[in-house]
């Protein structure tokens, strides 16, 4: 049993109503469960291999899900990188190892399953890239059309490749992500398409399983802090909700400090946090190498700020240089290949430790949200080019030792 509740005025709506915001006050919605009369214990989850649908009892889907085996991503223990940072060992939850290479798959397996359950015929989203790649595969699997709106020229190549190969109708909008989101919301309202951006409360339900898996992988321990990139601010909200639900079910005994990282050129949530505000002032021309978080007006900002305040967490920004350095360090010291946005979590962790805000001894999990291969052009622009040599043993030897 669950309802869609407005976070602002507390109005409640049934699960079947097709809503993205509260009709009364325009507040954001969240799925709230009534688990009374249901006993959920640790035993229910033990001995089952890790995957998103392991947690079906805590997800708002009744039908057979549309799935491509999402979740169950590794939690890496980073000893060498922690040593080089001087921070001590920390963990990386590598969401780049989901089916399309980002955590968006968690939201979409639930979101598209829900779309079918609600009888929706077409699904749509605006995207900085990963959302479109993900929606494209679940739409394909479900056998329904997918429409995606991308900001022209600002989407990493790997992501566009996925969206077009999997058969989505891809529109390149002459504007930024925030413009594309406004346009797709309008399209969905007028055409009856199902909107699967993170304003959709069902999508965030899928993403909350990142929290469940972290707890599972730490043997029912809850980390002191979870650090992750913030763009449209859905994921930080979702992960917080996951930890909160485990806590409320009595499965765990605390909630980690939710720590959101944004790029300096696109950091409205950080600005709001630093002034202790409950809402953001949009940034009009967001700019960063981390295209997945190049967002000036995050729709879930109010929810995200609540998650940060209620968990005793914080928000901090990092420069593109710090992001690139962390991306290289992850790749070269830990063998973890991530796209720039993902590296901002590790860059933020390093910076906050250096500032004395993250303390030695804290158990920290950084979430890396997307795979390295998403953005090969960025890689080619920051790394040494392959060395061209004549096909002779002598030239090869010379090049190796030069």
The binding site for ligand PLP (CB under 6 A) comprises 102, 104, 130, 198, 229-235, 292-293, 339, 341-342, 369-370
Nearer to Zn ion, 147 or 302 (CB): 302
Nearer to Zn ion, 27 or 370 (CB): 27
Report in angstroms how near the CB of residue 294 gets to ligand PLP at its nearest.
10
Nearer to Zn ion, 9 or 387 (CB): 9
Residue 148 CB coordination number (10 Å):
28
Nearer to ligand PLP, 233 or 283 (CB): 233
Report in angstroms how near the CB of residue 11 gets to Zn ion at its nearest.
5
Report in angstroms how near the CB of residue 269 gets to ligand PLP at its nearest.
9
**Could you say which of Zn ion, ligand PLP, none residue 1 binds, taking C-beta under 5 to 8 angstroms by partner kind?**
none
Torsion angle of C-alpha atoms 353, 355, 356, 358, degrees rounded to 10: -40
Q: How far apart are CA 127 and CA 235, in angstroms?
A: 14
**Could you say which of ligand PLP, Zn ion, none residue 11 binds, taking C-beta under 5 to 8 angstroms by partner kind?**
Zn ion
Two tokens at 25?
């006050």
CB burial of residue 183 (10 Å; 0-12, 13-18, 19+): middle
Report in angstroms how near the CB of residue 381 gets to ligand PLP at its nearest.
18
Q: How far apart are CA 216 and CA 50, in angstroms?
A: 8
Nearer to ligand PLP, 211 or 233 (CB): 233
Report in angstroms how near the CB of residue 35 gets to ligand PLP at its nearest.
25
Nearer to ligand PLP, 87 or 369 (CB): 369
DSSP per residue over 261-326, as a string? Answer: EEEGGG-HHHHHHHTT-SS----SS---S-GGG--SS-TTHHHHHHHHHHHT-EEEEE-HHHHHHH
Chain residues binding Zn ion by CB under 5 A are 6, 8-9, 11, 22, 24-25, 27
Q: How far apart are CA 310 and CA 215, in angstroms?
A: 19
Q: How far apart are CA 273 and CA 291, in angstroms?
A: 22
Nearer to ligand PLP, 87 or 198 (CB): 198
Report in angstroms how near the CB of residue 249 gets to ligand PLP at its nearest.
24
Report in angstroms how near the CB of residue 301 gets to Zn ion at its nearest.
16
Q: Measuring CA to CA, which residue among 134, 294, 299 is closest to residue 200?
A: 299
**Could you say which of Zn ion, ligand PLP, none residue 176 binds, taking C-beta under 5 to 8 angstroms by partner kind?**
none
Q: Measuring CA to CA, which residue among 123, 180, 132 is closest to residue 156?
A: 132
Terminal alpha carbon distance of the chain: 67
Two tokens at 238?
């979702």
């Amino acid at each position: 049993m669950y309802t869609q509740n407005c976070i602002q005025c507390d109005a409640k709506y049934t699960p079947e109503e097709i809503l993205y915001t509260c009709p009364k006050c325009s507040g954001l919605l969240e799925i709230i469960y009534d688990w009374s009369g249901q006993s959920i214990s640790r035993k229910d989850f033990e001995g089952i291999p890790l995957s998103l649908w392991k947690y079906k009892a805590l997800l708002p889907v009744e039908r057979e899900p549309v799935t491509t085996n999402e979740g169950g991503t590794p939690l890496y223990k980073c000893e060498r990188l922690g040593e080089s940072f001087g921070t001590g060992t920390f963990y990386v939850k590598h969401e780049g190892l989901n089916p399309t290479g980002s955590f968006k798959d968690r939201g979409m397996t639930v979101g598209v399953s829900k779309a079918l359950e609600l009888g929706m015929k077409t699904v749509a989203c605006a995207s900085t890239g990963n959302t479109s790649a993900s929606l494209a595969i679940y739409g394909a699997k479900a056998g329904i059309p997918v429409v995606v709106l991308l900001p022209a020229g600002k989407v990493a190549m790997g992501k566009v490749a996925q969206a077009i190969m999997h058969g989505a109708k891809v529109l390149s909008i002459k504007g930024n992500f925030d413009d594309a989101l406004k346009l797709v919301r309008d399209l969905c309202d007028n055409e009856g398409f199902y909107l699967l951006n993170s304003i959709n409360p069902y999508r965030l339900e899928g993403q909350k399983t990142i929290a469940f898996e972290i707890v599972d992988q730490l043997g029912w321990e809850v980390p002191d802090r979870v650090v992750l990139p913030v763009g449209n601010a859905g994921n930080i909200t979702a992960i917080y909700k996951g930890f909160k639900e485990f806590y409320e079910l009595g499965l765990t005994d605390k909630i980690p400090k939710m720590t959101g990282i944004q790029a300096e050129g696109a950091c409205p949530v950080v600005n709001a946090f630093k002034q202790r505000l409950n809402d953001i002032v949009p940034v009009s021309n967001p700019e960063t190498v981390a295209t997945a978080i190049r967002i000036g007006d995050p729709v879930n900002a109010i929810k995200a700020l609540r998650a940060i305040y209620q968990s005793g967490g914080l928000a901090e920004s990092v420069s593109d240089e710090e992001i690139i350095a962390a991306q290289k360090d992850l790749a070269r010291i830990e063998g973890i290949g991530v796209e720039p946005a993902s590296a901002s979590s590790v860059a933020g962790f390093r910076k906050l430790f250096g500032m004395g805000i993250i303390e030695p001894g804290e158990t920290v999990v950084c979430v890396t949200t997307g795979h390295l291969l998403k953005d090969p052009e960025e890689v080619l622009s920051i790394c040494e080019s392959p060395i061209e040599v004549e096909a002779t043993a002598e030239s090869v030897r010379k090049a190796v030792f030069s």
